[in-house]
Chains A and B, each alone.
Chain A
Amino acid sequence: MSDSNLPEPRPSERVGALPRAEAKGTEPDFATLLVSWLDSHRGSLVDGLRRLGRQPLGSFLTCLAMAVALSLPMGLSLLLDDIARLGGSWQRAAQISLFTTLDVDDAAGERLRARIAALPEVAEAEWIGRERGLEEFQRQSGLGEALRGLSENPLPGVILVTPRAIDKAGLEALRLQLEDFSGVQLAQLDLLWVERLGAILALGERFVFGLSVLLVLALLLVIGNTIRLHIENRRSEIEVIKLVGGTDGYVRRPFLYMGTLYGCGAGLLAWLVLVYGIDWLNAAVVRLAGLYGSDFALAGIPLEDGLSLLLGAVLLGYVGAWLAVARHLSELAPR
């Protein structure tokens, strides 16, 4: 070793127990370092799996606790999506009904519908003629006999307009624009229903968000505490590693893999819990919907949502482990 500044002399520059000639040519090149680095990662992964496997029940319960915390907000979020679907789509809820004057016949109504459908703000427009409207009214109102006694059809033609945008100001502007069309007597928009639905869903989303934040914090605490116990169990090993020149990154690596493995296990369990939980709930929902003449069913967990859940769980495991090790690393100085 020369008396120049440290820190990292090349192995061939070290003076040690082996003669210099023997040490020469054995310093690791980039490829060796890379292979060794990958090998170290593989070793940490295998070691993490082995340690989890040594305490299968404890590891499973930790993953299960994390899975429950993960599946709650995800399950509620999926349920909200289903409620939104049950209440009809946003666009459907925001349909504008255009009542035409009585002199607009089917041909004129179709022409008017085509003009309206061509507007950029309109996604879809449907013409319901006077006769069809009367038939539907007779069928749905239960007043068929009474209506048949009328000398002429009192119902106007209707154009059901589905707008593209669903913001309140845009919908109101479109309603005013449509009301100015020739042959349109009244343009009606049930904004209150739209606002109520939006408010309910926004409340639900906010609730899910708040719950998610709380449960993410709880998850970080669970993973942090679990990793802290692993650190305590391996304190002497960590002290030795630091004494023989292991960097903080080297010390941190196996714990990051453990956190990631816990996250992965929890993500898979949460996915399973949701799949089976929704399937179990769906049977009752289908039966109830059937009593109301609906074919509604819970949508289940889409693949991309499941993968997001898994990825999120893995990230949470990694971050939780990183925070735990960062917090305890300074306490791990050799004694």
Chain B
Amino acid sequence: MIRFEQVGKRYPNGHVGLHELSFQVRHGEFLFVTGHSGAGKSTLLRLLLAMERPTSGRLLLAGQDLSSITTAQIPFLRRQIGVVFQNHQLLFDRSVFDNVALPLRILGLGKDEIARRTLIALERVSLQDKVEGFPSDLSTGQQQRVGIARAVVHQPALLLADEPTGNLDPRLAAEIMGVFEDINRLGTTVLIASHDLALIARMRHRLLTLQRGRLISDGEAA
């Protein structure tokens, strides 16, 4: 599903974000990407979201070369990807329902279908009783779950998460990871960037370790 072929990313100021990175991710996999700050985790996610383009190599997502994707194609690519952020990126002037329903509105689904899928997504993260609430009324963990519901409501093929448990205590972090595993079991490929090695070790999934933009290990977390 994802194929990095000698992918490099060099910024205009000379900083190298990624250095000839090569790996593949199969459909339905669950994997972590870890590394210290500046290792290239976020760059990798930004490349997958077409927020940036590789400066060398080829990056294929579902057969599409993201190095040559046109600007007009990017929104349609992103509609197949769900994203979860450390800081949730919720819209605080909209209800929980409206936050989660946003990707479906962009897709142009009908009202009934939007309501149905939004409620399913909120049930999946156990927030069905918060439909009419606002993000400011929720705890940090609940806000993160709203972010996850929004990321999966449109049934993306790929779910990306950038430090999704960074602000959470260990119990909440484990709970959120459980939600990701549930989503993965239903067929969504999940790629999580995290530096929480203890949490990653408990999960026992494939782990890519980056260091200064290079892939230094690829195997199951131990």
* Residues of A participating in the B interface, judged by any CB pair closer than 8 Å: 1-9, 11, 14-19, 23, 26, 28, 32-33, 35-37, 39-40, 236-237, 239-248, 250, 333-334
Contact = CB atoms under 8 A, between A and B. Distances in A.
Contact of B76 (A6, A15, A19): A6
Contacts of A9: 80
Interface in B171-188: 183, 186-188
12 contacts: A1-B1, A2-B63, A4-B63, A6-B62, A16-B152, A16-B188, A17-B188, A18-B186, A39-B111, A236-B89, A241-B106, A244-B154
Interface residues of B, number: 45
Contacts of B113: 26, 28, 32
Nearest to B60: A3
Residue from the set A2, A17, A23, A39 with the largest chain B CB neighbour count within 10 Å: A17
Contacts, number: 132
A240 B91 contact: yes
Contacts of A8: 76, 79
B27 interface: yes
B103 interface: yes
B102 A14 contact: no
Nearest to A43: B105
A90 B188 CA distance: 79
Contact of B186 (A11, A19, A240, A333): A19
A17 B183 contact: yes
Contact of B109 (A32, A243, A247, A333): A32
A332 B218 CA distance: 35
Interface of B: 1, 27-28, 49, 51, 61-64, 69, 72-73, 75-80, 83, 89, 91, 102-103, 105-111, 113, 117, 120-121, 124, 150, 152, 154-157, 183, 186-188
A8 B62 CA distance: 12
B124 to A, nearest CB: 7
B108 A243 contact: no
A247 B106 CA distance: 8
A52 to B, nearest CB: 15
A250 B89 contact: no
A243 B78 contact: yes
Residue from the set B69, B76, B110, B188 with the largest chain A CB neighbour count within 10 Å: B110
A206 B49 CA distance: 54
Contact of A15 (B27, B51, B79, B103): B27
Contact of B62 (A3, A18, A248): A3
Nearest to B187: A15
A334 B78 CA distance: 12
